[in-house]
Amino acid sequence: MEQYSGISKDKMRFAFLNGFLYVLAGSIQLVFSLLTMFNLCSVNSFENGLIGILFAPSDLMGSLILVLIGSVFIYGLMEMRNGLDEGIAYVYVGILISLLFAMVYVLVIAGNWMEMYLLNVPQISYWDILYDLRPAIYLGILPLCGYLIWKKEFRTMNK
């Protein structure tokens, strides 16, 4: 680890933390979504607990997306540990993908809120923000901080 610069160590820690969190959240969400898909466990047992709020057990595609984002971070970490500078690019791509999906889920929440507020239809008047909360939203806070710290490095190189 002595051959790495301070910036690379920070990026390696950042990649490890994000990769671990995304893969963990995606794996847990995948297990619970498969359990509910095959009727091995009821959805109602998850809705009232913390796991239902944090991991949205019925979102199979969302769990695969989280695992994919986490694997991008982990691959970048492995590249950086092997001394390849291309690993930093994987970390940057992981940041951008995680921010993209977090923004998509935020836009879904905003759309559902506007639908409830503007249409005022009785069938959707029971909408709750916790129903649309997805792990990609709150996991996207750490990559957002990373983007804000390293935003100058995201720009193209001078010609």
Give the tens place of pLDDT for each residue, 47-56. 566 666 676 6
At residue 121, does pLDDT exceed 80? no
DSSP class of residue 72 equals: H
Mean pLDDT, the chain, as a whole number? 84
User: In terms of residue numbers, what domain contains 31?
Assistant: 1-157
Indicate the range of 4-8, 30-34, 99-103, 132-136 predicted with least confidence.
4-8
For the chain, helix, strand, coil in percent to 5 are 75, 0, 25
Residue 102 · residue 137 · CB < 8 Å: yes
pLDDT, greater one: 70 or 53? 70
Residue 1's pLDDT band (cuts 50, 70, 90): very low
At residue 43, does pLDDT exceed 70? no
At residue 2, does pLDDT exceed 70? no
Among 97, 36, 41, CA closest to 65: 97
User: What SS3 class is residue 150?
Assistant: coil
Domain total for the chain?
A: 1
The pLDDT, as a whole number, for residue 64 is 95
Cβ atoms < 10 Å from Cβ of 26: 24
